[in-house]
C-alpha cells in the first residue's frame, strides 16, 4: 500500500503537467503551427519505475502511542545488544571498518562504535539505540550529548527498530541539528535528552 501510494504521489503531479502541455500542443495544431500527425505522450502513458540504485530513500515512521519519556526501559539492554550487532554488519557491508568500543572505554568516550572508511578517510562516531518494536527515538545522557555537540558532523545516532520482526535502521548525522529533542530530568537529577525524527519525516 505504501509503495502504491508513493507511485501515485509521483505520477499525479506529472500527469497534470502533461495534460497542460498536451492542451498547449493542441492549441498549436488548431492554429496550424504544429504538425497534427506528431503525437505527444499521454498522462496515461506515464510509467514510474523503482531504480535499483535510488537517489534517496524515504522512511515513513510513526510516533509511539505513548509519550517518549514514558516508554518502559524493560528489555532495552537486549535490544541495544542486537542493534549493535546489526550496525556492525551494516558498517562492514558499506565499506567502513567498525570498532566496537569496550564497556570500560565507553565510560570515557561515551559512544558505542568508531567506524572509518580507509579509502576516503571518513570517520564516524556512532551511538546506537535499539528497539524491539516500531519506536524511533534515542535517549542520550549528558555525557553522550556533549560528545554529539562536540563532534557534530563526525557524530551519528543510529536507531535500529523492529528488531523482533525485521530490523530497520535510521541514521542521523549531527542529531542535535537534524532531529527534534527535549530535555528530561530524572529524579536522580541526571539529565536525559530524547531525540526523534522531525515532524515532516513522520507519517
Per-residue confidence in pLDDT tens, the chain, 203 aa:
777 777 777 778 877 887 888 788 888 888 888 776 666 666 667 677 766 777 776 766 666 665 655 666 665 778 899 999 999 999 999 999 999 999 899 999 999 999 999 999 999 999 999 988 888 889 899 999 999 999 999 999 999 999 988 899 999 999 999 999 888 766 556 677 888 887 655 44
Identify whether 120 is part of a domain. yes
108 occurs within a structural domain: yes
User: Do 34 and 103 reside in the same domain of the chain?
Assistant: no
Q: Are residues 14 and 76 in the same domain?
A: no
90 and 41 housed in the same domain? no
| This prediction's pTM | 0.65
In a domain, 95, yes or no: yes
Are 118 and 160 part of one and the same domain?
yes
Same domain, residue pair 78 and 22: no
Instruction: Show the domain range for 11.
Output: 2-45
Identify the CATH number of the domain in which residue 154 sits. 3.40.1350.10
> What is the spatial distance between Cα 201 and Cα 197, in angstroms, rounded to a whole number?
6
Distance CA 159, CA 138 (A): 7
Assess whether 157 and 81 both reside in one domain: yes
Contact present, 172 and 139 (Cβ < 8 Å)? no
What is the total residue count of the chain? 203
Number of domains forming the structure of the chain = 2
Burial 19-32 (b: 16+ CB within 10 A, else e): eeeeeebeeeeeee
* 150 in the same domain as 100: yes
Task: List helix spans (H) across the chain.
Answer: 2-30, 76-93, 103-109, 142-151, 175-178
Amino acid at each position: 500500500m505504501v509503495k502504491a501510494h508513493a507511485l501515485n504521489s509521483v505520477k499525479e503531479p506529472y500527469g497534470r503537467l502533461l495534460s497542460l502541455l498536451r492542451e498547449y500542443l493542441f492549441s498549436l495544431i488548431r492554429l496550424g503551427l504544429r504538425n497534427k500527425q506528431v503525437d505527444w505522450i499521454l498522462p496515461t502513458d506515464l510509467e514510474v519505475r523503482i531504480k535499483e540504485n535510488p537517489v534517496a530513500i524515504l522512511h515513513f515512521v510513526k510516533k509511539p502511542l505513548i509519550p517518549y519519556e514514558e516508554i518502559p526501559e524493560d528489555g532495552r539492554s537486549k535490544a541495544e545488544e542486537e542493534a549493535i550487532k546489526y550496525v556492525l554488519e551494516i558498517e562492514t557491508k558499506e565499506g567502513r571498518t567498525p570498532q566496537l568500543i569496550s564497556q570500560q572505554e565507553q565510560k570515557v568516550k561515551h559512544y558505542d562504535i568508531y567506524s572509518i572508511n580507509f579509502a576516503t578517510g571518513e570517520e564516524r562516531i556512532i551511538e546506537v539505540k535499539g528497539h524491539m518494536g516500531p519506536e524511533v527515538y534515542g535517549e542520550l545522557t549528558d555525557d553522550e550529548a556533549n560528545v554529539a555537540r562536540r563532534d557534530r558532523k563526525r557524530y551519528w545516532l543510529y536507531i535500529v527498530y523492529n528488531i523482533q520482526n525485521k530490523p530497520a535502521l535510521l541514521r542521523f548525522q549531527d542529531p542535535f541539528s537534524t532531529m527534534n529533542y527535549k530535555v528530561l530530568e530524572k529524579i536522580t537529577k541526571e539529565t536525559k535528552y530524547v531525540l526523534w525524527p522531525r515532524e515532516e519525516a513522520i507519517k
